Amino acid sequence: MLGTFSSVKQYLKFDITRVVIDNIVFKLHYRWTFVLLLVATLLITSRQYIGEHIQCISDNVVAPVINTFCFFTPTFTVVRHLNNTALDSGSVFQPGIGPYNRNEDKIKRHAYYQWVPFVLFGQALCFYAPHAIWKYWEGGRIKALVYGLRMVGLTKYLNSDSLRIGKLNIPSMAEVEDRVINIRRTMIDRMRLNQSWGAHLVTAEMLNLLNLCCQIYLTHRFLGRQFLTLGIKVLRERWVDKMDALDIVFPKVTKCTFFKYGAAGSLQEHDTLCVMALNIMNEKIYTILWFWYAFLFTITVLGLIWRLLTLFFYKNVTFTRLSLYWAKPGKLDGSDLKAVIEKCNFSNWMFLFFLRTNLSEFLFEKVVYHLASEFPNSPIHDNDINDYKAREREAAGGSSGKYPLLERLDTVDAPLLHHRAAVGAGTAPVQTPIDGATLPV
């Protein structure tokens, strides 16, 4: 079984170096729904789980011939035999199976099973399409800025050389400082030039909802207009009646009529009974899809409501604090944050949000601080990290402990804090792990 699904396992891997450019709602579309539909396609096309897709009974026709004919030609059930009364009375032994008059009885044809794997695979591609479009619009900007900055807590052991272990890259302290300056410069440039980043993201999220609605409607048409209420009927009828919605939409036994010429040249009609093993899997797949689509629709609408809130309240400092904390927990300086978001439009704010998602608390705090120092209305900063931490320590107001900020910051800043604390206390110089040199008091 693992060998059968090996083609989709790559989409389920957890990659610590992966750069986040979307939210959980987006991932439910292009990752989880995409994988779910691919797995369903593999199940339908794998005979090892359900055996032969169709087996038909006929007295005078060779089995391979009648099986192939009835699989490629739509089978049918008789509508007047699709009722629980006939099943309870013993008039019919299977829903829709019984004697019928070709000229009078209405029949229900079933041809969808020939197209199920193609439809499922096509739907999987449709759910991936908005993500592919968004990646093209995003252009790798976030990745270019933050890639390799996930493990900055270990950079205190590196001075000027970065360390690469497999796919994991640990940047040096000098590289981190350069990257922070580069992020600041890029953000300043974006505030002047690029105003469409956020609009493209909102468009891609709306495409997710539009695609989901289209796929629900197409599935409804594909299953003979029986899909929209399928899940509700299953919950209501599955364990109550002998025949439920699944028996009507996915019949296990159907009829097939085969014509051939006899030895004397007369036309012979063969009424054939077919066992649809394929529908055992189809009914499970589409029942799961009904509940998944209902869940996905709810989450997608809630996600768009959240996006609408960000569009209206992104200038609010409290809302921004909560949003950035939700993106990744951590404390931010209120005055610096206010100075930055006052200069941001919605696209800049969204770009800042995804920077926060991919950066550690300390690095993002430095980015916000440096950005705030660029704006003329903000307090005058000298961009010196020790002065910045000294101002933060004074704002903390009498924290206990020898190094009061060590609990609040990433360990990448620990050498600076040790040096600062030692100088403030008038103690001996501290040996730093940055270059092995002793900093003067």
Mean pLDDT of 81-97: 76
- In which order are the strands placed within the sheet that holds 55-57? 55-57, 267-275, 253-261, 75-78, 107-110
Give the pLDDT band of residue 419 (cuts 50, 70, 90): very low
Is it the case that residue 412 has pLDDT exceeding 60?
A: no
Give the pLDDT band of residue 201 (cuts 50, 70, 90): very high
29-84 pLDDT, tens digit per residue, is: 999 999 999 999 988 887 656 667 788 887 778 888 888 888 888 888 888 888 77
Mean pLDDT of 283-288: 93
pLDDT at site 280:
87
By mean pLDDT, which of 139-143, 181-185, 247-251, 412-416 is the weakest?
412-416
Is it the case that residue 304 has pLDDT exceeding 70?
A: yes
pLDDT at site 435:
39
Please say whether the dihedral angle defined by the alpha carbons of residues 189, 191, 193 and 198, taken in this order, is positive or negative: positive
3-state secondary structure at position 268:
strand
| Prediction pTM value | 0.76
Is it the case that residue 16 has pLDDT exceeding 70?
A: no
Q: DSSP letters along 198-250, please? A: HHHHHHHHHHHHHHHHHHHHHHHHHTTS-STTHHHHHHHHTTTSSS-HHHHHS
Report the relative pairing of strands 55-57 and 267-275 from DSSP bridges: antiparallel
Q: What is the DSSP letter of 315?
A: T
Q: What percent of the chain has pLDDT over 90?
A: 22
